[in-house]
Amino acid sequence: MEISKNDSKMLKGVAILFMLLLHLFCRKEVNGLYETFPTINGIPVVYYIGLFGDACVPIYCFVSGYGLY
């Protein structure tokens, strides 16, 4: 299976969206800015969703390395 230029641009876009998800929502403390209702052991669920965005670096590195290959 080969990745075309268009596919690599889409994957890089997904990696950028994951990076935004990570940097915007991966916070444990909100300091009264907004109320987070669903929590797991005192940690907001939004933190875990933001932590999923940590996949941005491996995706971007893989696509960049594949393009150089």
* pLDDT-derived band at 34, boundaries 50, 70, 90: low
Ranges of each domain in the chain: 5-68
Name the one residue in this structure whose structure tokens are 């670096």: 57
Four-point Cα dihedral 11, 15, 17, 18, nearest 10: 140
Bigger pLDDT: 18 or 45?
A: 18
Bigger pLDDT: 44 or 19?
A: 19
pTM reported for the whole predicted model: 0.76
Four-point Cα dihedral 48, 50, 56, 59, nearest 10: 40
Token pair belonging to 52: 């999923």
Is the separation of the CB atoms in 53 and 18 below 8 Å?
yes
Measured distance CA(7)–CA(15) in Å, rounded: 12
